[in-house]
Amino acid sequence: MPDRHLSRRSVLRTTSGAFGVAPVGVRHASGEAIGTAGRCPEATIRPGMEHCTDAHGDGCSDDHPETEAIQDAVSRTLEDRYPNVGTLIDEGFIPYFDLASSGEEGGYSHWINPGYLGDETVLDPERPESVLVDNKWWRPIGVMFIATEDGEAVDDPPAVYGEGDEACAPWHYHTGVPGRFAWWYYQKVYGSDGKTSLKLPCRTPCMLHVWTYPNPNGVYAHGPPPRGNRGGPPAEDPGFDTWATPGDDELEWNTLPDGFVSQFKPDTSLRDLLFG
């Protein structure tokens, strides 16, 4: 379990409620108006995203050999190394602060690995920066690659395959306050040795999903497969002791081990941070 940044948890904390919509004109502690464009012309109050490359997903095909290869490689990694939430916890993954707020429509959570963010690999199926977990069946259903090297964002992430206008490079970044704040908070508490700017970043690093269950919008879709396409029962063994029953109880903070929650669950809302 990573613990070298835990002493800074008192610097800033937030709950999954931080992903609610902030009112227009709200100011960050630095004085930046996070709900307006200001220095960030792409910024939006509600969740928003943009493509990282001109090619983005236009050159992608689900039946292309390279798509099949990366999907198969991700599937093997999840099956062999991260088959359940317990293995994610054991290997240093922590929730990307949305565990209890993904809602019925999405019903999944992001788990992020600080070590993989800080290494030199990009688009490595064996070292996914984030694993995506279905909250009903407690089952990993894909990964989210985050384009960073040594913890710094990569401006021109590699294509999955192809070149130029024909490339398959479905990378996107988030411009909305929820995504920007989540990334800033993650860096502040866990990822940057206390050197994070007081101002919210204008955008997140580039990200790319690979889903291992059938998705009508494609292997690289931004949104998850519908719940009916996530394998169904039986639910996965949680991999740790819990009062909850996967398949009957949603994966939430209060279903996780007490020691893990006490270390990693934030306990102050974005509103409290801004006005408290």
Q: Is the pLDDT of residue 90 over 90?
A: yes
Say how many domains are in the chain. 1
CA distance 111 to 251: 12
Q: Which helix (H) or strand (E) holds 65?
A: helix 65-80
Give per-residue burial for 64-76: e unless 16+ CB within 10 Å, then b: beebeebbeebbe
**Contact criterion met (CB below 8 Å) for 130 and 74:** no
10: number of Cβ within 10 Å:
8
Residue 147: inside a domain: yes
Residue 51: inside a domain: yes
CA distance 28 to 49: 21
Mean pLDDT over the full length of the chain: 78
Within 8 A by CB and 6+ apart from 243, the residues are 255
**Contact criterion met (CB below 8 Å) for 99 and 109:** yes
Confidence of residue 106 (pLDDT cuts 50, 70, 90): low
Domain hosting residue 91, numbered range: 6-275
Residue 1: inside a domain: no
pTM: 0.80
Within 8 A by CB and 6+ apart from 139, the residues are 84, 133, 230, 231, 235, 236
Residue 11: inside a domain: yes
**Contact criterion met (CB below 8 Å) for 84 and 237:** yes
CA distance 237 to 225: 21
pLDDT digits (tens, 9 = 90+) for 234-269: 999 999 999 999 999 999 989 999 999 988 876 654
CA distance 249 to 135: 9
CA distance 1 to 92: 5
pLDDT of residue 226: 92
Confidence of residue 102 (pLDDT cuts 50, 70, 90): low
CB neighbour class for 228 (10 Å; exposed up to 12, middle 13-18, buried from 19)? exposed
Residue 213: inside a domain: yes
pLDDT of residue 21: 28
Q: Is the pLDDT of residue 26 over 70?
A: no
CA distance 38 to 83: 44
pLDDT digits (tens, 9 = 90+) for 193-235: 545 555 777 878 899 999 999 999 999 998 899 989 999 999 9
Residue 117: inside a domain: yes
CB neighbour class for 266 (10 Å; exposed up to 12, middle 13-18, buried from 19)? buried
> Closest by alpha carbon to 117, among 105, 108, 131, 128?
128
